[in-house]
Amino acid sequence: MEVVVIGKPAINVYLPLQEFPQEGDLFNITSKNESVGNVAATSACLLGKWGIKPHFSGVVGNDSYAEKIRDTFKASNVSYKFLETNFTSGTCTNYIILNAKTGVTTKVLYNDFEAQLTKYKYDFIPGFAILDGTDMAGSLALLNNNGASCKTLLYARKSDKDTVNLSKKCTYVVCTENFAVGLTKEQPDGSAEGYVNMYQKIVDICGRSNYIVILNNHKILYAVDGAVKMLPEMKINIVDSSSFDSVFVGALALALIKDLSLDDGIKFANTAAGISLTKIGEEAAIPSIDEVLDNSGMRQKFGLNENVNQAPASAQEVTPLMPNMSVQAPQGQSVNNANMEIQQNEIEVPQTIANNVVNQPSDVASNNAYAQVFDVSDFQSATPVQTNAVPQQNTVQTHETNIFDNPNE
């Protein structure tokens, strides 16, 4: 299967500080870290390092950062034949202040919105595509030319009109909590009901239940065969939070390409993304596939033998968050009903907002399921579960001054 990745690659410039600066402060640092970043580029590098050579399609400037990206792609087994050069703008650059004490990152992103792909034809037929939403022209061209034969995985960071419309055309959508809240105007309060309400509204608006929400605390909210589920975050000491989404998308793409169930794919991706938080960078923080397989207990799912040097990870089944309700997929959509396995030492038992059916009738306007008051009388039977709040640990928030966002929106 040929895989194409479409988006804008970037160079991340990390400035490590012991505390966040105040206005007017002066800091002197003796080192900085520069590495390839952004979701599309990091995902492509992950696939290349893990045995699938993808084709990358995107735009860079005519500068030294573009050469650094090409060198990284070459070293990572990524084909960059379709990487275009824009001679009027520079390569996308992310300036990242990293709080060395907490792992929290604050970003100032440089990007020329007008620098978009101009060539949309490939000398291969893509069977799977990763889109990061930063090159809308290239993404729409792929869907128009290959949509019927190509599975697509979109990363949706913001809920502007173009991104929402693009998400409705894709096979899978990994989105941020900011996207989900902006789309639904539903701010979850940490309860099971709140998360079900928000997910129901996503389905009502977009007409599909293929959205995978990365919450701000690195928990994962998604739905499989009518059950809304939440996978808790890994318990890990965070060094840098910037790699999570990028590594998650790349690892999930690999699992889907290998025909794993969505449950298994999300568990695998969550493990990879969690491990990446222990290193600085995005591309530089990609863990080895052996490390992810051993810590997720997924070797047999990939048809591999267990590592004799490491005991296999122990797994537990998904347990219902709310057994009395369920979430129905939209009409005509086939959904897998696979059990998720969890590494007991690294990840909490996943929580399932099960039997909370997101109803999707043909007349979306008549659907008021998300407004129901949910019966949580059996909620305590799931372990570990709380009805009023989802416990948080190592919660990391990323504060962005982001020029990808149009200030007039």
Whether residue 309 lies inside any domain: the answer is no
173 domain-assigned:
yes
Distance between CA atoms of residues 212 and 333, nearest Å: 16
DSSP-derived pairing of the beta strands 79-86 and 55-61: parallel
Do 57 and 117 form a contact (C-beta atoms < 8 A)?
yes
- Report pLDDT for 107: 87
Q: What pLDDT is stored for residue 13 in this prediction?
A: 94
Both tokens of residue 29? 């640092």
Q: What is the pLDDT of residue 353?
A: 53
The pLDDT assigned to 395 comes to 42
The answer as to whether 407 is a domain residue is no
In a domain, 25, yes or no: no
Query: Which stretches within 175-222 are classed as H helix?
Result: 177-184, 192-206
Whether 4 contacts 54, CB under 8 Å: yes
Cβ atoms of 340 and 263 within 8 Å: the answer is yes
pLDDT value for 358: 56
Residue 185 lies in domain = 2-20+30-303+314-402
Buried b (16+ CB within 10 A) or exposed e, 188-214: bebbbbbbbbbbbbbbbbbebbbbbbb
At 142, which helix (H) or strand (E)? helix 136-146
Residues 7 and 58: their CA atoms lie apart, in Å, by: 5
Contact 6, 117 (CB under 8 A): yes
Which tokens belong to 221?
């909210």
pLDDT of residue 402: 37
Smallest CA-to-CA distance from 211 within 146, 134, 159, 283 is with: 159
pLDDT by residue for the chain (409 residues), tens only, comes to 999 999 999 999 998 888 888 888 888 888 888 999 999 999 999 999 999 999 999 999 999 999 999 999 999 999 999 999 999 999 999 998 988 888 788 889 999 888 999 998 999 999 999 999 999 999 999 999 987 889 999 999 999 999 999 999 999 999 999 999 999 998 988 889 999 999 999 999 998 889 999 999 899 999 988 789 999 988 888 888 889 999 999 999 999 999 999 999 999 999 999 999 999 999 999 999 999 999 988 888 888 765 545 544 443 344 445 545 555 545 554 433 333 332 323 333 345 554 455 554 334 333 333 222 333 233 222 223 333 333 344 444 444 433 334 434 4
> What is residue 184's predicted lDDT score, i.e. its pLDDT?
95
Is residue 42 within 8 A of residue 246, CB to CB? The reply is yes
Question: E strand or H helix at 46, and its extent?
Answer: helix 39-49
> Are 292 and 251 within 8 A, CB to CB?
yes
Number of domains in the chain: 1
What phi and psi values does residue 381 have, to the nearest 5 degrees?
-75, -20
308 in a domain, yes or no? no
CATH code of the domain containing 182: 3.40.1190.20
Q: What is the pLDDT of residue 313?
A: 47
Residue 283: per-residue pLDDT: 95
pTM of the model: 0.78
Residues 6+ apart with CB under 8 A from 135: 6, 7, 8, 57, 58, 59, 116, 117
